[in-house]
Structure formats: structure tokens, C-alpha cells
Copies of this chain bind each other. A is one copy, B any other.
Amino acid sequence: MSGQAAERQDPVHWVYSFGAGAAEGRADMRNLLGGKGANLAEMSLLGLPVPPGFTITTQVCAAFYENDRQYPDGLKAQADKALADIGTQVGKGFGDPKNPLLVSVRSGGRTSMPGMMDTVLNLGLNEETVQGLAELSGDERFAWDSYRRFIQMYSDVVLGVDHSHFEEILDEYKDSQEYFRDTDLNAEDWKAVAASYAARVESERGKPFPQDVHEQLWGAISAVFGSWRNARAETYRRLHNIPESWGTAVNIQAMVFGNMGEDSATGVAFTRNPSTGENKVYGEYLINAQGEDVVAGIRTPQALTREAREEAGSTKPSMEEALPQVFTQLCQIFKKLEAHYRDVQDIEFTVERGKLWMLQTRTGKRTAKAALKIAVDMVDEGLITQDEALLRLDPAALDQLLHPTLDPQASRDVIAKGLPASPGAASGEVVFSADDAEDLKAKGHNVILVRIETSPEDIHGMHAAAAILTARGGMTSHAAVVARGMGRPCVSGAGALRIDYAREMFSVAGVEIGRGDIITVDGTTGEIISGEVATIKPELSNDFARIMEWADAARLMQVRTNAETPGDVQVAREFGAEGIGLCRTEHMFFDADRIIAVREMILAEDRTARVAALDKILPMQRGDFAEIFKVMAGLPVTIRLLDPPLHEFLPNTPDDIAEVANASGMDDEKIRRRTAQLHETNPMLGHRGCRLGISYPEIYEMQARAIFEAALQVKKETGAAAQPEIMIPLVAMKEELQILKQKIIAIAAQVEQETGEKLDYLIGTMIELPRAALKAGDIAIHAEFFSFGTNDLTQTTFGISRDDSALFMNDYIRAGIFEQDPFITLDQTGVGELVKIAATRGRAARADLKLGICGEHGGDPASIAFCHEVGLDYVSCSPYRVPIARLAAAQAALTSKKR
């Protein structure tokens, strides 16, 4: 606030004019003028035909809201002057009954929020000026039609008189006259309709429709500013992470008319195909129409080019054919704009009686596929550099290209919607338990695992499933995180589902789906669909490969992956992962063939019994690591020793308990008692991580041995193994690391002695607790690397459990407390300060300390930029995010180089 106040020293420039080859603004003043205003100014400067106008800045919007919806001093005078200048340029007067200037009043924020805010056209018409317009245009029908449109639009937007009133009047009028289409109405008809409109406005609001054009203007301006905080706009901003503080600008511009006859038209165009990226003009237009007609979809628009018309098999003339001269001029402007902006432009234009007017240009939105092609093409055309190509791609959008998607042509019977938790889509038979999923998958079925929520015990089932669907849990629930990690499509938090495990069915919206029924889960949209929908497997284009190659050359940070199953590790390697940043050993413990031994280990009453159980697990873990080390030959593999609380592994059902009792020789009662003993109130903050290693060192000793033996085994077999980096989780105190490190070194020494081979490994820790970050200087004395576990660090720094945050996260985002879910994008000033503190103190204590991140944030582009700034050596993310991270890391490097 104080910064803004300082900027507002008199005389403040509240208003920026444009038009006639000149402008006070520029394209790079988007924050102040909004995108539309800045580009109108830029087009004016380029000498393009832009109807003159002016922009009221976003600062006015901020002042308006701060000051109880009052305008700042000086605005009115500046706006009056700018309005007079428009009149001078077009030779008309605002409110002049003979020669009236009409204007449009449009919103325009920093980024486009299509259709979210209000617009008023034809402003400046009243009972007098409508007659002037009629004379001036020589078209009385056009004038009265414009006036009635204005009354309707203005009353709806500014006066709060619902548009249904006007539709009703028009329908009644047409009925009374037995008209069918609007084109049946003549000038007198429109005049009568306009009179009815005005009468209805007066009866609804108790005051006549405003005739004072200045009152009209300021009413419209206030309505546009007011629409910044309407419900639609707020929702849009929340969904698109647009801060409320940005505000909107308001553009007032002389009206031009595409509805003044057959030599008039209005249209929209992209300079290249935004869907495929092809370098061909793409767009549509309507003869004798106003812009709103194109958007409203009442008339079917026509193609711009003949080629497009022919492709669509249409007979309606293309603009190329109907208005060839204007079309040629338009194409020249397209070239000029692309050359100037060096990017695809999305354009609005109007042709008034054969004269072309440019109403808007902006960067064209495009699909991920198109974005890649356009970027690569423009590099090849010499229009942009490789760096620019990299910088203008949205890394997150790559996600679309990597996962299978539903065939957009197929029909969908959507029965419910949840959160789009993990992209991609799959169809399969519904199952309600992880074991069932595994069994059916083994028999060759595609299955969809449906759970109220998932837990680590379900991992094998999630692996077996083609997709996962849960009734509870948010975008960062266990199901969501694990599914993204595995690249499985997932819809979470589908609260409408009533799941009945006992009956093996769920019901939703009157539909009942039982075990074995086929559904399709679309993790990209959150849709749950009855029956099968065909999917398309993505083919990665050559453009993708080239972009990745450029990105790898540009980035400074390494990109690793979070993976532990051989399949995931392989996928990640193919996506370009340069090692593993997080290999979670506990997932390996849930496999059906070893969970019994794991349970015996946990239930053991003393060290001897525990060691005996661990001896059974050792060869299995060694085998796991050996597979991973083979795939990651020559690359670093960070293995996190056992992390979750032991009770997560314990049996819950009587059957499970009986099985364990049978295998271990313990009685059921004892197992139940031990399970109760291990129960925790807040397992996240409980007996887990290195605390297990301190209490039961033999577990970590077994894991260390498995790692070392696997490394030597693979080296022997293949001549090249990965370099193990052993990671101790949940360290809060240097003593924890110190003690456990010594034990691991002792195991390494034993293995070296037993084999006569030399081991090459690092020992480090996760920094995932605030205390660890603060004490990083002490901890680094014992750690050869730090990996920031920002999931847990976010949980403890905020005091928010990911598993429980769904209960209030929506309230928080709605209240504007969170601009973004901090479990998705790193909270840079809070959690991020701890990361910085840890990096600084850690490196001060050990200059060659290796720093990385293995939380979910390692795959989030904004967070990756932060990691680059902090100076991390690598980021690690789930396999399907590796390409995203490669690109985001390149962008971060390029951006900071530019600074």
C-alpha cells in the first residue's frame, strides 16, 4: 500500500490515450493498462488502424476499492479531456445530437479473463443522439437497433435490470407483429421496442433510463470496475491464480460498426492454428454483424480463408473471397503483428463500410502440442531464439502430452465428478480392495481401484490398477500423490460417491456400480464415466525432443526422479531423469510376498527375533535395489531408509491377523495388543523416520547392507552400478544423524571386509522439519547431502496435515488466504525461508554439500524456479513430471541469466 501511495504523487496519470498512429501507453505497460489497453496503444504506435480511445489504469481500480468505491481526484478531468480528444480525432461530439460520438466501455486486466467481466457498447446514445446517428449513418433501422441494444446491455450491466425483461418485450413484440426473426423488424419496430425497453427500465428502477451521456459513461465505468469483484470473476481468478490486487483497467474507445451493411463485417483470428500449431491463418468472421453476434453464436460464422472453407465443406464465402482487399490488408497486418510481437496473435477486427479496424490483439492461447510446434517453427523461421522458445512454453502444459487421454470424439456418460488428481484416463473393472485389484490384474483384467481413501497398504493395488478413484481426499491426498508418482490417472475426493465395501458397490446420483462393472476415470477433468471410453496414447513429437534437448543445454540443475518400482524407474529414465532423488523403501515392504516378514519384524518382542525377521527381508530388498541400480547405471540413486510409522504395516482385518499369527507363532491377542500399542494420535509427528532407526537400529542396518551388497553385485554383473546416496529421514537433531551414520559406516566396513571390494556411497539427510532447517549448520557436519522434503516441511511449518487439509482448504482459497495450495506450489516466503536458511547454513558448514529437493514441489515449475534461485544442485519429481522439470529448470536458468 505504502509503495502505491508513493507512486500516486500528483499529477498522477490516471488515463492513457491511443489512436491515430500515436499513444501514451506501450505493450510493456500491461500491469498498468491491462493487456487490451497496452496492446491497443502498441497497435496505434505501429500505425495500425485502431479506433481512438483511452485507458483508465488498474491503479484507479485499486484506488476505487480502497476508497469505498470513490474515484481518485483528477480522474474526471483527465477522462473528459481524453474523451474530447477522441471526438476531435473522429470529428464527432460526445452527446452531440447531430454528430454523436459513441464509445465502447470494456474491461481489460493484466491477463485475459474471457467473459468474466462486463462490457457496454454503443454508449452515448439517447433519445436525441439516436436520431443524429440515424441521419449520420443514413440508416434509421441501424440507429434504433443500436439504441435498443444499448438500453438492454446498459440496463443489464449497469442498472441491474435483468436481460430477461428485454427478451420478454422483444418476444411479445415479435408475436404481436407475427415476426419470426430479428431481421424482420424495421426502424419503426426497433423504435417501438426501444420505447418499451425504456419504459420497463423506468418501472423496474423507479427512475428513467439515463439520458445524460456522461452519467451513462461513469455508470458504465463503475460497472466495469465493479465487475472485477463479481462472483464469476472471483471464481475465475481463484481457478487461475490471479491475485485480486491486480485489478482491471477500463478501455473507452470510439465505436466502429461491423453491422452497417454487406461491406461491413466483424471477426476473430489467430495468426497460426492454435490447436495444431500449423503456420496458417485461422479464424472466422460474420458479414454485417457486431462482435457480440460472433460470440453469441446466433449466426454461424464463416471461415477466413478459402482453404478452410473448402476443408469444412462450407458454401458460405470466406473473407478471402467476399472481401478480398480487406482480407489482404488483414493478412499484412497479421504478418506485421507476428513480426512485432514475435508470437502468435489472437486478433479481433471490424470492417465498417470497407474500412478495417483493429480492436484487439493479444498472445494467442494454444494447446501444448501447438505450443511446441509454434516454438520450434519460430526458431527455425529465425523469428525467436531457442532461449525465447524455451521461455514461452508452459512446462505444466507438457503434462497433457505425456499421459494417455480420452478420445475427445467419444461420447461420455458422466455419472459424477471429483478432483482431477492425476492426469490421464483409463477404463476398467471396478474393484474395492487392493488385493482384488492385484488378483484381477494378474488375470489380465484392467481394473479401477475404488476406495473411500487410500493408505500405504493399498500401494500394490494402486500399482495393479489402471486408475484410482477415491471418495475422500484432495489434490494432495495419499491417493493423488501416489497416483501422480506412479503416473496412474486418479480422481480423488468424489464426495458424492456412497461406497459400500461390504456389498462391493458404490452408488451415485441414482446409479449403482458394482464390482466388475466398467467405468472410465478421467484424471485430467475429474470426470467419472459409466462404461468404457476409448483413449488415445500420446506420441511424443520431434518438436518435443528438440525442445528437451535445448532445455537440457540451458539448465543448470540436474533433474532426478522419485521412483522405486522398476517400471517407474524405467519410465523416468526414458523421460530423461538423471538419477533418483527419492527411492522410498517402505513401498517395497508392502509387497504381498514380504509383508508377512515385515509384520513379524515389527511384532518381534526383542532384538533377536527382529533380526531374524529382518534376515528374511534382506535378500528381497537387495534384489529391489539391484534392479534399480542396473537401470540407473552410473547415476546417483538416493535411497531413503524406512520412514513411515510401523503401525502402517500392521494387519487390520481378522484374516490378516490370523495370517500373521500363523506365520510368526504369536497369538492373535498379542498382535492386537501390539497394534494398539503402536497406535498414534498424530502419526505424521510420531514414531517414524530416523526415530525408528534410533529405536531399532537393526532395521536401518539391514537396509544399508541390502544397498551395499546390491551395489557390489550389480557392479560385478554389469561393470557399472548406480552410486548409492543413503538418506536418513526426519532428522531434527544432529545427534540422530551422527549416531545412524556411524552405524551405516560400520555396515559398509563390514561389507567391504567380507567382499574385499571398495564401496562408493554418500550419507545424507532429508531436511523436512523446521528444526533441521534451522540447525542445518550442525547437521551438515555429518551430512554429505541434504534433500529438502518439502512435503513434510510444509506440513510442519504451516502446522497443516495434508491428509486433513481438505476440510478447510477450500474455505482458505475462497477467503483469499491461500493464493495457491502450498502443497502444490512452494510457499516461498515461509517454507522457502527455511529452505534458504538451511542451504546457507549447510553450505557454510560444508562447502561441497550436495543440495536437492524431493518433495512434490520438485515437479512444480514455480517451485523449480525457486530451487534454482536458492542454488540447489538438483530437483527430483515423479517420472511423468521429469520433462516438465527439465523445461522449468531451463527456464529458471535463462530467467536468472537475463537478470
Name A815's contact: one of B739, B797, B800 (CB within 8 Å). Answer: B739
Residues of B within 8 A of A694 (CB): 808, 811-812, 815, 817
Q: Identify the stretch in A331-339, A398-406, A826-834 within 8 Å (CB) of chain B at 4 or more residues.
A: A826-834
Question: A683: CB under 8 A from chain B?
Answer: yes
Taking a contact as CB atoms under 8 Å apart, the answer to whether A830 and B680 are in contact is no
CB distance from A338 to the nearest CB of B (A): 42
Question: A799: CB under 8 A from chain B?
Answer: yes
Question: A193: CB under 8 A from chain B?
Answer: no
Interchain CA distance A816-B795 in the complex, whole Å: 27
Give chain A interface residues in 768-819, CB to chain B under 8 Å.
Answer: 768-771, 774-775, 792, 795-801, 803-804, 807-808, 811-812, 815-818
Name A830's contact: one of B730, B771, B811 (CB within 8 Å). Answer: B771
Taking a contact as CB atoms under 8 Å apart, the answer to whether B736 and A817 are in contact is yes
Q: Identify the stretch in A317-325, A507-515, A685-693 within 8 Å (CB) of chain B at 4 or more residues.
A: A685-693
Taking a contact as CB atoms under 8 Å apart, the answer to whether A771 and B807 are in contact is no
CB distance from A766 to the nearest CB of B (A): 11
Question: A684: CB under 8 A from chain B?
Answer: yes
Taking a contact as CB atoms under 8 Å apart, the answer to whether B830 and A686 are in contact is no
Residues of B within 8 A of A687 (CB): 804, 807-808
CB distance from A351 to the nearest CB of B (A): 49
Interchain CA distance A818-B735 in the complex, whole Å: 9
Residues of B within 8 A of A685 (CB): 682, 684-685, 795-796, 799-801, 804
Question: A391: CB under 8 A from chain B?
Answer: no
Question: A718: CB under 8 A from chain B?
Answer: no
Question: A164: CB under 8 A from chain B?
Answer: no
Name A770's contact: one of B684, B733, B804, B834 (CB within 8 Å). Answer: B834
Residues of B within 8 A of A770 (CB): 770, 796-797, 799, 830, 834
Question: A695: CB under 8 A from chain B?
Answer: yes
Taking a contact as CB atoms under 8 Å apart, the answer to whether A800 and B732 are in contact is yes
Residues of B within 8 A of A830 (CB): 732, 770-771, 774-775
Interchain CA distance A816-B833 in the complex, whole Å: 30
Residues of B within 8 A of A833 (CB): 774
Please name the residue on chain B nearest to A768 by beta carbon: B799
Taking a contact as CB atoms under 8 Å apart, the answer to whether A797 and B817 are in contact is no
Question: A896: CB under 8 A from chain B?
Answer: no
Question: A183: CB under 8 A from chain B?
Answer: no
Residues of B within 8 A of A797 (CB): 732, 769-771, 774, 796
Question: A176: CB under 8 A from chain B?
Answer: no
Question: A681: CB under 8 A from chain B?
Answer: yes
CB distance from A237 to the nearest CB of B (A): 15
Name A799's contact: one of B695, B739, B769, B803 (CB within 8 Å). Answer: B769
Residues of B within 8 A of A801 (CB): 680-682, 684-686
Interchain CA distance A685-B680 in the complex, whole Å: 14
Copies in the complex: 2
CB distance from A583 to the nearest CB of B (A): 22
Please name the residue on chain B nearest to A738 by beta carbon: B817
Please name the residue on chain B nearest to A794 by beta carbon: B771
Residues of B within 8 A of A800 (CB): 685-686, 732
CB distance from A77 to the nearest CB of B (A): 35
Please name the residue on chain B nearest to A827 by beta carbon: B771
Please name the residue on chain B nearest to A817 by beta carbon: B735
Taking a contact as CB atoms under 8 Å apart, the answer to whether A774 and B817 are in contact is no
Name A798's contact: one of B683, B771, B815 (CB within 8 Å). Answer: B771
Interchain CA distance A775-B682 in the complex, whole Å: 25
Bitwise, A99-123 to B at CB < 8 A (1) or not (0) is: 0000000000000000000000000
Interchain CA distance A735-B795 in the complex, whole Å: 18
Interchain CA distance A774-B829 in the complex, whole Å: 8
Residues of B within 8 A of A681 (CB): 683-684, 801, 803-804
CB distance from A731 to the nearest CB of B (A): 10
Bitwise, A814-853 to B at CB < 8 A (1) or not (0) is: 0111100000000101110110000000000000000000
CB distance from A812 to the nearest CB of B (A): 7
Interchain CA distance A739-B812 in the complex, whole Å: 11
Please name the residue on chain B nearest to A733 by beta carbon: B817
CB distance from A682 to the nearest CB of B (A): 4
Taking a contact as CB atoms under 8 Å apart, the answer to whether A815 and B682 are in contact is no
Please name the residue on chain B nearest to A495 by beta carbon: B677
Taking a contact as CB atoms under 8 Å apart, the answer to whether B796 and A792 are in contact is no
CB distance from A496 to the nearest CB of B (A): 14
Residues of B within 8 A of A795 (CB): 685
Give chain A interface residues in 710-753, CB to chain B under 8 Å.
Answer: 730, 732-733, 735-736, 739
User: Given A682-B683, A682-B684, A685-B799, A771 and B831 touching (CB < 8 A)?
Assistant: yes
CB distance from A846 to the nearest CB of B (A): 15
Inter-chain pairs besides A686-B804, A694-B815, A769-B799, 17 sampled, C-beta below 8 Å: A681-B683, A681-B684, A682-B683, A686-B800, A687-B808, A691-B808, A691-B811, A730-B799, A732-B799, A733-B818, A735-B815, A736-B817, A739-B815, A770-B797, A771-B830, A774-B829, A775-B830
24 residue pairs A–B, Cβ–Cβ below 8 Å: A681-B683, A682-B682, A682-B804, A684-B685, A685-B796, A685-B804, A686-B804, A695-B807, A695-B808, A732-B798, A732-B800, A733-B818, A735-B815, A735-B816, A739-B815, A768-B799, A769-B798, A770-B796, A770-B797, A771-B827, A775-B830, A792-B799, A796-B796, A796-B797
What are the 4 tightest A-B residue pairs by CB atom distance, in nearest-first order? A685-B801, A682-B801, A770-B770, A686-B804
